[in-house]
Amino acid sequence: MDMDRLDEAESVLLRALKIRRELNLDLKITANEIALARVYAGNDNCQTARTLLNKARTIAEADDNHSDLGKVAHQEALLLAREGFYPRSKFEEAITLFETLGRQRDVERVRSDMHIAETG
C-alpha cells in the first residue's frame, strides 16, 4: 500500500477516534481501533497495532460483541503471522465466533487468510 495513503488513513482514523471517544461511542471506537491497527501493521508498527487491538478487545468483551471479537481475533492472527508466528488459534477463534453469528463470508475470509499464513 502507498505510504502517503497509509499516512492519510492514519490521520483520518485518529481524528474519528478522538471524536468517538469524546462521544463515548464504544461500537465505533472498536471499529476505529481495528482499522487503525491494520494501518499500523501495514507500516510495520506491530506494537502500536497490538495495543490498539488489545483496546478493541477490551471494549468488545465488555459489550459482549461477538462480531467485533471475531474481527479482533482475525486481525490479531494476521499481526502474529506478519511477525513470523503461527497464529492458528487466533484464526480458529475468529472462525468460531463468525460461525456462531452465521457470517459465512467472514468465515471464508478468515479461512483464506489462515491458508495463506500456513502456506506462505
CATH code: domain of residue 92: 1.25.40.10
| Sequence-distant (≥ 6) Cβ neighbours of residue 16 within 8 angstroms | 28, 32
Q: Is the pLDDT of residue 26 over 80?
A: no
Of the listed ranges 4-13, 70-79, 89-98, 100-109, the least confidently predicted one is 4-13
Question: Quick one: cell of 45?
Answer: 508498527
* pTM for the whole structure: 0.81
Q: What total number of domains does the chain contain?
A: 1
pLDDT in tens, 41-60: 999 999 999 999 999 999 99
Distance CA 9, CA 11 (A): 5
Q: In this model, does residue 105 exceed pLDDT 90?
A: yes
What average pLDDT does range 15-21 have in this prediction?
A: 67
Residue 35 predicted with pLDDT over 70:
yes
Which pLDDT belongs to residue 29? 79
- Which domain range does residue 65 map to? 3-119
pLDDT in tens, 79-98: 999 999 999 999 999 999 99
pLDDT of the residue at 20: 61
The count of other CB atoms within 10 Å of the CB of residue 57 is 20
Cell 471499529 appears where? 31
Helix H or strand E segment including 15? helix 3-22
Helix (H, G, I), strand (E, B) or coil at 86: coil
